[in-house]
Amino acid sequence: MIDKVKALAAQNRAAKTAEDKAEVRRQMDALKESDPKAFAVAVGYMAKTTEQKVKELTMAEKFGEITNMVSMAYIAKAYFGKSRSWLAHKMNGNIVNGKASQFTPDELVTLRGALQDMAQKFGSLSLAI
């Protein structure tokens, strides 16, 4: 059921016309009527995974142009002792070992500290110039 709902959701996103969207809506309604409980579980699952994806994307979006302004490789190595690709996986929520990679609470504390440390260094440099 989840695969069917995912497929219809993808069709809905790709729909260009009101008629196409109405057809997807009709198919969703038919699917819901065929097995209401399974449909509810599938929609709940999709909502939960979508919410998680939004949280993961939000981290990369929060950084925005900062990723172009500072070396992400430096942050990964100096503050986490990891590679740039490790940090990229965390920032982008990439699938690693079958699950979306995300920062742990401790890693978020480290990241906040790294940003504060760099801000202080930039501030000191700006005063020294």
How do residues 34-63 score in pLDDT, each as one tens digit?
999 999 999 999 888 888 777 666 678 888
Rounded to 10 degrees, what is the CA torsion of 117, 122, 127, 129?
A: 140
In terms of domains, do 49 and 94 share one? no
End-of-domain residue from the set 37, 57, 77: 57
Pair 89, 115 in one domain: yes
Rounded CA-CA distance 112/118 in Å is 10
Tell me: do 70 and 53 sit in the same domain: no
What is the span of the domain harbouring residue 33?
1-57
Whole-structure pTM value: 0.56
Residues 25 and 72 in one domain: no
Helix 36-63 to helix 84-92 angle, to the nearest 10 degrees? 130
Report the pLDDT value the prediction gives residue 50, as an integer from 0 to 100.
Answer: 84
Task: Dump pLDDT digits (tens) for 74-95.
Answer: 999 999 999 999 999 999 888 8
Q: Answer yes or no: do 35 and 80 share one domain.
A: no
